[in-house]
Amino acid sequence: MVAIIRRLGRAPYLSTWEAMRNFTLARTPETPDELWLLEHFPVFTLGQAGKPEHLLRDIGIPVIRTDRGGQITYHGPGQVVVYLLLDLHRAKLKVREMVTGIEQAVIDLLAARGLTANRRPGAPGVYLGADGEGAKIAALGLRVKNSCAYHGVSLNVDMDLSPFAAINPCGYPRLPVTQTRDHGIPWTPEEAMEALCQALISRVVNPLGNP
């Protein structure tokens, strides 16, 4: 079953999250999977078990506690987001496999543009360097209900990174954060969004190339 791709432009976080939850609760075994491609207006999001103390200071950006995994992160214009609304049971996909696939899709995408990155044990996301010990460039968080996943992955492309200084990104004090623009990849957010979408389809959504 081919996934439906929805390009949502720049969207508020709260209404998008509510739409994801509603979609997931209403879906049936016949509901096609969907990928939502978008950017968000500036917002800090705190995961289900997130600790408020990881917000270091108030800089006037709203904070929303959400139901994904993980700690606190920042979303804003110039960061591309792909939400993967997938039926894991139908895909015969475990959550850990999905996380690994998302990370590998980003790693492969960056490698094709000459940028080496890797995962870091115990810290979901993608980090620069062959050992994954460099700055974080992509974050991910998921929620699963009734064997169906929602939320997804964000990739920093061409954005104002300064709000990350007001938090411990993903719960890690002084974790450096970077973006593709600062490493010579001349993507626009729209170009990065489409490339990331295709990488996720190939690695996670339809790895066998089924029609």
What average pLDDT does range 35-52 have in this prediction?
96
- Give yes or no: 170 in active site: yes
Structural domains of the chain sorted by starting position, each given as residue range(s) with its CATH number in brackets: 4-205 (3.30.930.10)
pTM: 0.96
Confidence of residue 211 (pLDDT cuts 50, 70, 90): low
pLDDT of residue 208: 59
Greatest extent of the chain over all pairs of C-alpha atoms, in Å: 49
For 145-187, write each residue's pLDDT tens digit.
999 999 999 999 999 999 999 999 999 998 999 999 999 999 9
**Contact predicate 38/7, CB 8 Å:** yes
Nearest to 85 by CA among 131, 139, 19: 19
Q: Which residue type does 182 have?
A: D
Q: Which of 105, 161, 170, 177 is catalytic?
A: 170
Confidence of residue 202 (pLDDT cuts 50, 70, 90): very high
